[in-house]
Amino acid sequence: MIAEGNRAPHLAAVLVGNDGGSMTYVNAKMKACEKIGFKSTSLKFEASITEDELLKVVLDLNNDPELDGFIVQLPLPKHINEQKVVQAIDPKKDVDGFHPVNVGRMALNLPCYLPATPFGILQLLQRSGIQTSGKHCVVIGRSNIVGSPMSILLARNAEPGNCTVTLCHSRTADISYFTKQADIIVLALGKPGFLMGDMVKEGVVVIDVGTTRVDAPDTKAGWRLKGDAEFESVSPKCSWITPVPGGVGPMTITGLLQNTLLAAKKAIY
């Protein structure tokens, strides 16, 4: 694109407050932009910023012709309505894929910016040659960021897709009844070690989205990331399993950058 006289794709990230996990994610996204030649802008604000002030930041980014896409890193402080902020983002610049317009287009299988983590998971499945058509997929967790969109994407008439999907959550009785039948399990609960080896069948594919910080006095940081699957007992039964860290996380960033490239090329809108 640059060789043709165009500018590099430009991604901005808005970070409010000092949440450790959010700061780590934003830094990783900015480093990934630098690595592949994107322009990146990081905007940091104190947790005391008002909702109106943040909405003004969003409006300015919407109207910046030099910016292709931007994200507002969640969670936001409690005094700010997250949905109000997300809905204020121009769908054409919503490279996180959270705006109701993009969610609705996704549900109708129309061109859109897919949520970054589900987008990355689809690529993990596709690039690893994992067949999804006709398979039984159990998604555990119903968040708007991962669980709910994953259930829609894996059930759609597409590749990857064409799964029979069961969506389980905190109110599902006897989750192991479903997981024992699953060909593919997508775990997005945020409960470390939730899925145990006796809950899965031989040959299962496990996509572990969980990234919870647990105490680890033996490490320099004093903590380590743990997934929702108990890796030691689950992995011997798997045909494929994503590690934590290093599995879904990097693919989330890949999904975000691919959405930014689509935005720069005006490929969706």
- What whole-number percentage of the chain has pLDDT above 90? 90
pLDDT category at 213 given cuts 50, 70, 90 is confident
Active-site residue, 93 included: no
pLDDT at 224: 87
The pTM (predicted TM-score) of the whole model is: 0.93
Active-site residue, 35 included: no
pLDDT category at 212 given cuts 50, 70, 90 is confident
Of 73, 183, 208, 226, the active-site residue reads 73
Kindly report each contact of residues 128-135 with a partner whose C-beta sits within 8 Å and lies 24 or more positions away, as own/partner. 128/240, 130/160, 130/184, 130/205, 130/240, 132/159, 132/160, 132/161, 132/162, 132/163, 132/184, 133/159, 133/161, 133/162, 133/163, 134/162, 134/163, 134/164, 135/163, 135/164, 135/183, 135/184
CATH architecture of the domain with residue range 10-94: 3-Layer(aba) Sandwich (3.40)
Average pLDDT of 111-135? 97
Active-site residue, 183 included: no
138, pLDDT greater than 80 = yes
> What is the average pLDDT value for the chain, to the nearest integer?
96
Domains of the chain, residue spans: 10-94, 116-247
Of 68, 93, 94, 96, the active-site residue reads 96
pLDDT category at 173 given cuts 50, 70, 90 is very high
Q: Would you say the CATH fold of 116-247 matches that of 10-94?
A: yes
Of 29, 68, 226, 228, the active-site residue reads 29
Average pLDDT of 89-116? 97
13 vs 190, more confident: 13
Average pLDDT of 204-218? 92
Backbone angles phi and psi of 170, in degrees to 5: -65, -20
Class at the top of the CATH hierarchy for domain 116-247: alpha beta
Q: How far apart are CA 105 and CA 149, in angstroms?
A: 11
pLDDT at 147: 97
Q: How far apart are CA 18 and CA 73, in angstroms?
A: 11
For residue 147, what are the CA distances in angstroms to 20, 88, 150, 210?
23, 23, 5, 11
pLDDT at 72: 97
Residue with tokens 């975000």: 256
Task: Please compute, for residue 212, the number of CA atoms within 13 A of its CA located in the half-sphere on the CB side.
Answer: 17
Average pLDDT of 197-216? 94
150 Cβ contact list (under 8 Å, min separation 6): 118, 121, 139, 186, 188
